[in-house]
Structure formats: C-alpha cells, structure tokens
Structure 1
Amino acid sequence: MQIRLPSLVTRARTDHRPPRRGDRPHVVYLAIGFPPAAKSSAYRMRETANQFAARGWDVTVITIADESWEREYGLDHTLSDGVDPRIVVERLPLARADLETDIRAFSEARTLHPQRWIEEQRRQELRIFPEPVFGGWRTELERAVLRVHREHAADLLMTTCAPYVNLAVTWRLWQEHRVPYVIDFRDGWSVDVIGGKAAFDRDSAAGRWEEKVLAEARAVWCVNEPIAEFYRERYEALRDQVRVVRNGYDEDCVPSATHRADPTEGLTFGYLGSINFAPALLDSVLTGWRLARRQDPLLARSRFEVRGHIGAGALREANAHMELLRAAAGDGVEFGGPVAKADVAATYGRWDALVLMLVGGRFVTSGKVYEYAASGLPVVSAHEVDHDASAVLAGHPLWTGAVGLDPRRLADSFVRAARLTADATDDQRAAARTHARRYARGAQLAPAVAEVTATVGGAAIAGPGSHGTSSEGGQA
C-alpha cells in the first residue's frame, strides 16, 4: 500500500509577496500550525515571526493549507489579524489523511479494514522519517523549503517542532546550502514530558536524527528549565546552545480590569484551553466541583463554564470528555465551545475565578498558565504538585496552590477560591497582574530573537553575501 500524499506540482498558495530589500536578511520559518490554525502553538509562532520582522528580517513562513486545519482543531481567523503584514506565508497542500471524514474519499482498503489501513499508513510514514502521522510529509516539505531558498536565499532557517519531521527538512537545507538554523523545540522530542523520562534511546532512528541535527544548531529553544536541562545533560556539547524561551501571554488576551463579583448571584468559574488530557483528570475536577458545591452555599449557586477545543477530526466534541460534561450539567457545569483569539480577554473579563487543568509534571508548562496568572483572577490548580505551572504561579497572591488531583482536596481549593473571589482587594488583583508581567510573550521572545539577529542576521548583512544578501554593513 502506498501513502497518497498531496502533490506540490501546482504552486503552493502564497498569502502575499511584498517587494524584497537586498540589504535585509531573510529567515525561512518552518512553522506548521501558524495562524489561522486553532492551535495553542500558533500564538508563539505568530510572535516569533513578528519579532523577526520587527528586527528587520524578511520573513517567509512555511505551513500547511487552512483546509488541513479544518480537519483537526479548526481555524481561528482572528489569530491572523495580529500577523505583521510584511510576513509572507506559504501554505502547502498537505493534510492528515487519517483525519479525513468524507467516506467518499476512502480507498477500498480503508473502507473494508480501517484498523489495518491505519497501521499500514503508520509503517509507511516511519520508513520515510521516524515520526508517525507526519513522517510522510518529509519529501514535500523539503521541496518547498528548497524552492523558497532558490527564490530568495535564506540566511537563517527557523524551525519549530512538532512535527519533528521538520528536522529532516532543516538538515536537507543545511546539507545542500549550509543555511544556519535555530530549533524551537518547545517541548522537546526525546523527552517524555508527561512521564518525565527519555522518550527514546540515542541509538534509535529518532535518537540518531535528533543528535545529528541538534549538533549543528546555532541555538535550541525549550519552554522551561527542566526540558532545557534534560537536553544539556543528554548532549553535553550542546550545553551552551540550549536556551529557555518561555511561552508567555499576549497582552490582548487579558482583560484591562476585572468585574466585581456579586456573591448573592453566585460566581462563575472558568476553564479556557484545549481539552486534550485524559478523561480521568476532568472527572476528578468535576467531582471536586460537585463536592465543593455541597460544602459551600456560595458555590452551590455558582457555575463552572468550560471553553475550548475538545477532540480532533471525527472525535471533535464527540468523546468521553463531552459525556462527562453533559452528565455534570445538573451541577452548574456548562460547555461553551472554543473561544476566538479576539474574544479571549472578554471571556476572562466576565469570569470570577479560573480552573487550570493540566497533565504531566515538572516538564510541562501550559501556555494558558501565563494568561491565567495575568488575569488578576483567583486560580485553582488541578495538576500535580510538582509541575512547572507551580513555578510560574509561585508567589501569585490569588493562587490556591497545587494540591494534586484528589477530588476532596480540589473541593477545598474551589472553596478557597470562592472566598478569595469575594474578598480580594484591588491591591491583590494588581499584585497578581504585576507578578505575571515578566511572562508577557514579547518579553520572553524578544531577547531570543535579538540574540539570533546579532549572531546570524548581523553576519548575513556584514559578511561576504554568500547567501545572496548585500555585503554592506548595517544593523539587521
């Protein structure tokens, strides 16, 4: 059986192509998940591209077609509003065949033996690159990056993972044209961020790919210190290249002010984020909420609103999580679906307290924890005690603390959050915002992009022009 992948015989769609300046360095940004993809990583990708544009780079983003994201979590076109208009976005006609829901497009093999079909699909993908689901994209991504480089020579390739097949594309451009590169690993590949251990051995196919590509990287970005330290210990020679570049929050995602709660009418607790954790975690939180309502009269007349994406493809809002939420409707639990980027601040602005549901431990940092911290609202933590989110929230004056996932202890956290909501002063809310200010996304990414610009972009301008840029001096 052969994998049927979209062809790039026709030219990939380009959003716009403004004129290029010869004295500007050019970064090709391999960013699968760029806006308007409704993925949490889209925020980081957007800010990274914008920071490069602000630093004087020509920026070409390579991602996949909007239609492909409609198969997964969907689209949020308000995300695109904040993309610097100087950025060129190339959208490739690649898509996940396993998320196709139109049975008219199914092959006979898939129709008759769906499980056997998906298993064969995965084997084929792994032969191309050691990553299931995305390994089969390697050839088309390589062609696209090489084509973009031919049209406007790259001085830097910025690669963000996942998918990790991007590493093969990065290596191809390095092998053929010696274009320097930076890898934004975010969560890392060889680290199991949920289990807190190595995901694969160094001598495995994936391990050999990772070690080879990382060895030539100008920098490797990770989202927190535990992941960064994992890579420093795994590859001692890379210790100086590994950087912590946290996610942070966008200023337009937090309300300018919080409304005052009316305890007589009850409170509104809210969760905003992708629901991609195990149903057992959600069950523990809903059980804790139910117990808290029995203990506290204020919570008994309060509600808990859950917002975000639940499931992908055919399982979108059709899974065990939805069954749990529907069963909890009698306890004041409501599911309101995803929230557009443009509406995030307003959503926080009408809630009284937040519930942070997260998987994993010290290797996991949620992008939402930064928004939660900056909201000025009390935060209930529903995650392991030893979690990187605890490091972000430590010292937050309206945080109830990490108590694990026992429903009875979570119930106590809900009760405490209700008291904080009713009693919090303006000074406490201001202190909560001040605590989070260091995690503004621009403040996290700007220094990292500035460093790359100084070490790579400056050389591209002042050097001999081997990548097709001007040899005139100047600052990128």
Structure 2
Amino acid sequence: MNTHRGPHLLYVAWGFPPCRAGGVYRALATVNRFAERGWRVTVLTAERETFERYTGADPSLEERIDPRVEVVRIPFEWPAMESDRSRWSLFRRAFPRVWRKLRVWRDRLPFPEAGYGPWKRRLTAAATRIHRADPVDLVVATANPNVVFSAAGHLHRRFGVPYVMDYRDAWLLDVFSGGRLHGERSRAARLERRLIGAATEAWFVNDPIRDWHRRLYPGRADAMHTVANGFDPDLAPDPERALTGPPPGRPLRFGYLGTVTPKVPLTEFLAGWRRARELSPAVASATAHIHGYLGYYAQPRPEMLAAIEDAAGDGVSYEGPAGKGEVAKVYAGIDVQLLILAAGTYVTSGKVFEYLATGLPIVSVHDPDNAATDVLRGHPLWFPVASLSPEDVAAALVAAASAAVGATPEQRRAAVEFGARYRRDLQLDPRIDALAASLQAGRT
C-alpha cells in the first residue's frame, strides 16, 4: 500500500515502463509529476512480460519511475500476437483465418476493442481491490487502448470516484484521415458518450483533437483541455551545444529518432535525400542516421530495413532502437534533426517537443497540414517541406544544412528559447493544480 500523504491517484495505462511504445513517455512523466506534487500514486498496468514478448522493452525506463510510485501489474493475454505455433490450439493451426475472426468477435464482447476487450474484467477487478485497500481520490486513465477507461468508469459508478480521460490519440476519430472510426450508433460511440459525460476532465495532446471532441460533445467543452506532451527536463539534450553549431570542417550529421511506422514517409524522405545530395556539397558529404524501431514491434519491418540499407551508399544508416537514457547522447551526435511524420491534421507526435528542446535545426518531412506545423510555426531554425515531392524535400534539407553551419548566434539562442516553453511540467502543472483544487472543494 502507498503510505505517502496527499490525495491518492490511480493511474491506469496499458503501456507503462518497460514498454517502449511512444505513449509510455507521457505516462511516465505524468505519474512522476503527480508524485512530485505530493500525490500518492498507484499505477495499474500490464505485466512486464507483455512488453518483453510483444512490443519490445526498454528496461532503462523502469529506473526512471519515481520511487514513491507504486506499480500494480496484472496479466494481459494477447493471443492474436502469439507467433509461437507450439502455443496455438489445434483449431487455430487448422483454420487460422476462422480462428482470427472468432477471436476478434470474442475480444469485443466485454469491451468493443479487438485484442484488448478481455482485459476489462481484470482491470475493473484490480481497480476495485486497490480502492478498497486504499481509497482512491482520482483516477487518470490514459489511452490507447481505450479499455483502460472502463476502470475509471467502474470506480465512478460504484464508488463515486472522479476521473480524467487522457487521450494520446482518439477513440472515434481517425487522426490520420480525419474521418470517424466508429459510427454514431456504434457501441464504442455510446460508451464514449457516457464516459465523457461523467468525466471530470478529458485531456488531448493538441488543439485540433480537442476541438474535434468539443464539436462532438458541446455540452462538455469546458471539461476538455489540451495537455501537450512536452519534453522531460531530466532527459532533454543539452541545448547549449546548439549555440555553437557543428565543429568546422566536419561533415554534417542529420538524424531521426523515433518509431518509423508504416504511415511515416520514409520512401519520400530517401528520394529527397538523394536529390539534395545532387544539389548541395554540404548534403553530399553528410550522413543521415535513423534511430528507433522500424514498425510497432520488436522485429524491424523488412521493407523498411531494406529501403534504408539500399540507401547506404548515399550515407543513410539504421542505428537501431535507443533507450530513453541514451536519448541525450543520440542528440549530441546530430547537427540537423529530421522530423519525419505521418500525414494528418490531428497528428502532432510527442517527438516534436523533444526535438524542440535541443535548439537544433529541424527539417519537417511531413504533410504541411500536420498538427506539428502549429507547434513549430515561428521556430527560427525550422525548415518545412512545401510538399513530399523529391524536389521540395531536397530544398528543405539543403536550407537546413546551410543554417546548421551559418546560423547567427541570435538565431541559435532564439531557437533554444523557443523550445524551452514546451517543458513537460509546464503542460501538466495547470491541470494538476485544477484537479487538486476540485478535490479540495469537494471536501468542503
């Protein structure tokens, strides 16, 4: 039991250290900040084996959990991701397609989310045990998966515990296309409507996603807030290096750090990189380093790895995943950052804030309508592409190479100051203060 004084927060998340998925950094920073602000924090999450077997694990992340935070881990089964055929049933081996259809149907019975629905029973049971052992004052549930919201709704219905819905993406909104993922009368839509209706607050990572939900639920607009991802000061790269620029005479180093998903325009970047090498001696002598996972899971996607390896003769290399503790070291070896993102009006990516923290030049290799554009607008060393054509990508790369060497001290200082405003605690603290005040008001 967590014996620290202060209100008791139950934080519910599927992805938590040592999970290495992108949303884990938001989860880790959130619980640590609540603990720093005097809350007693209990995290309800999946067992370590879940991440070690399926998503890839970063053990260094566990070391960064505040020691005041209690972590409760419960089993999570993911049969659809089981690649060991010896663990398959005879029926699955004989009829794999039929098995998959039946499995999806079965998954959605407890909660309408394939793969994650069956976890609802364990989540709600564990949340109840935690509350009975040490009454919970507030629940923050962070998606995705959206099944985590069921624990918050359960404690609210049974015990009146207030809760916050923290969206890393969205439940009904396709953040890439802007369309709906579920119809208005779908079970998912009905569940979200009920949960939003009872939530104390709902958090979104950017204004476009928040505003979409405000239009969908106008009666709850005041409860919806943007809590941007931000960067973590203790893990941020040293911005002082950006003030001096790269060493004279050394070839420039371009770098990408993050997960390369199938929606990321890797092919378009490589085509633009090749063209830039034809146009600029500075890029021709430069190298480009890709750090991170290729795809969502531990094993690199073969087509992505092949595309990078085919560009080895053009100075492109794949460096593999980087643990959170290695991030500052990675940035220390980069002169120009490559922000290669999927298209989507509602897509920001938490990585943009980490990039901003460095103060280094940033090349945006993504659709100009991407929500990251709103964050980066005004940055003095930002070089967005006009389109994803090879010529436009090349033009941005060439301009960034020139700035990496020739930016003025004033421009470099302004870039560092621009990024400093996105420190993660500056995003979280206003909401933590508001929630603490709300709980206090409820007691008086």
TM-score, length of structure 1 as denominator length = 0.89
Matching residue's letter, 2:333: R
User: Higher relative contact order by CA 8 Å / sep ≥ 6: 1 or 2?
Assistant: 1
CA-to-aligned-CA distance 1:90-118 (integer Å, 9 cap, x gap): 11121322222322212222223333322
CA contact (8 A) 2:385 2:392 kept: no
CA-to-aligned-CA distance 1:425-447 (integer Å, 9 cap, x gap): 33322211101111111110111
Moved more, 111-120 or 79-88: 111-120
User: How far has the Cα of 1:64 moved from its partner?
Assistant: 0.5
Question: Which residue is equivalent to 1:350?
Answer: 333
Closer, same or farther in 2 for the Cα pair 1:335/1:246, shift >3 Å?
same
- Do structure 1's residue 317 and structure 2's residue 328 form an aligned pair? no
CA contact (8 A) 1:390 1:402 kept: no
Matching residue's letter, 2:423: A
After superposition, residues 174-189 of structure 1 pair within 5 angstroms as 174-189=156-171
Give the 3-state SS of the residue equivalent to 1:148 in structure 2: helix
Give the 3-state SS of the residue equivalent to 1:36 in structure 2: coil
Question: Which residue is equivalent to 1:468?
Answer: none
User: How far has the Cα of 1:156 moved from its partner?
Assistant: 1.0
After superposition, residues 82-93 of structure 1 pair within 5 angstroms as 82-93=64-75
After superposition, residues 84-123 of structure 1 pair within 5 angstroms as 84-123=66-105
Question: Which residue is equivalent to 1:395?
Answer: 378
Question: Which residue is equivalent to 1:295?
Answer: 279
- Do structure 1's residue 425 and structure 2's residue 408 form an aligned pair? yes
CA contact (8 A) 1:78 1:342 kept: yes
Question: Which residue is equivalent to 1:445?
Answer: 428
Moved more, 35-44 or 225-234: 35-44
Question: Which residue is equivalent to 1:233?
Answer: 215
Closer, same or farther in 2 for the Cα pair 1:319/1:95, shift >3 Å?
farther
TM-score, length of structure 2 as denominator length = 0.95
Matching residue's letter, 2:16: F
User: How far has the Cα of 1:459 moved from its partner?
Assistant: 4.3
Give the 3-state SS of the residue equivalent to 1:227 in structure 2: helix
Q: How many residues align?
A: 441
- Do structure 1's residue 255 and structure 2's residue 238 form an aligned pair? yes
User: How far has the Cα of 1:72 moved from its partner?
Assistant: 2.9
Matching residue's letter, 2:147: V
User: How far has the Cα of 1:260 moved from its partner?
Assistant: 3.5
After superposition, residues 436-475 of structure 1 pair within 5 angstroms as 436-456=419-439, 458-459=440-441, 462-463=443-444
User: How far has the Cα of 1:55 moved from its partner?
Assistant: 2.5
Give the 3-state SS of the residue equivalent to 1:149 in structure 2: helix
After superposition, residues 56-455 of structure 1 pair within 5 angstroms as 56-251=38-233, 252-258=235-241, 260-262=245-247, 264-278=249-263, 281-313=265-297, 316-455=299-438
Q: Aligned partners of 1:402 and 1:295: how far apart in 2?
A: 16
Give the 3-state SS of the residue equivalent to 1:278 in structure 2: coil
CA-to-aligned-CA distance 1:383-404 (integer Å, 9 cap, x gap): 1111211111111111112422
User: How far has the Cα of 1:253 moved from its partner?
Assistant: 2.1
Gap runs ≥5 in structure 1: 1-16, 464-476
Question: Which residue is equivalent to 1:49?
Answer: 31
Moved more, 304-313 or 112-121: 112-121
Q: Aligned partners of 1:319 and 1:217: how far apart in 2?
A: 43
CA-to-aligned-CA distance 1:244-279 (integer Å, 9 cap, x gap): 110011122222432642463321100000111336
User: How far has the Cα of 1:296 moved from its partner?
Assistant: 1.3
CA-to-aligned-CA distance 1:216-247 (integer Å, 9 cap, x gap): 00000011111111111101110110011100
Give the 3-state SS of the residue equivalent to 1:211 in structure 2: helix
Q: Aligned partners of 2:142 and 2:38: how far apart in 1?
A: 20
Q: Aligned partners of 1:439 and 1:334: how far apart in 2?
A: 30
CA contact (8 A) 2:365 2:385 kept: yes
Q: Aligned partners of 2:301 and 2:346: how far apart in 1?
A: 30
Q: Aligned partners of 1:20 and 1:300: how far apart in 2?
A: 57
User: How far has the Cα of 1:20 moved from its partner?
Assistant: 4.7
Task: Note the aligned Cα RMSD (angstroms).
Answer: 1.7
Q: Aligned partners of 2:102 and 2:302: how far apart in 1?
A: 25
- Do structure 1's residue 32 and structure 2's residue 14 form an aligned pair? yes
Q: Aligned partners of 2:105 and 2:272: how far apart in 1?
A: 42
CA contact (8 A) 1:58 1:87 kept: yes
CA contact (8 A) 1:33 1:41 kept: yes
CA-to-aligned-CA distance 1:130-168 (integer Å, 9 cap, x gap): 111211211111111111111111111111111111122
CA-to-aligned-CA distance 1:279-331 (integer Å, 9 cap, x gap): 6x110100100111111112111110000011244x72142211111111111
Matching residue's letter, 1:261: P
CA contact (8 A) 1:381 1:403 kept: no
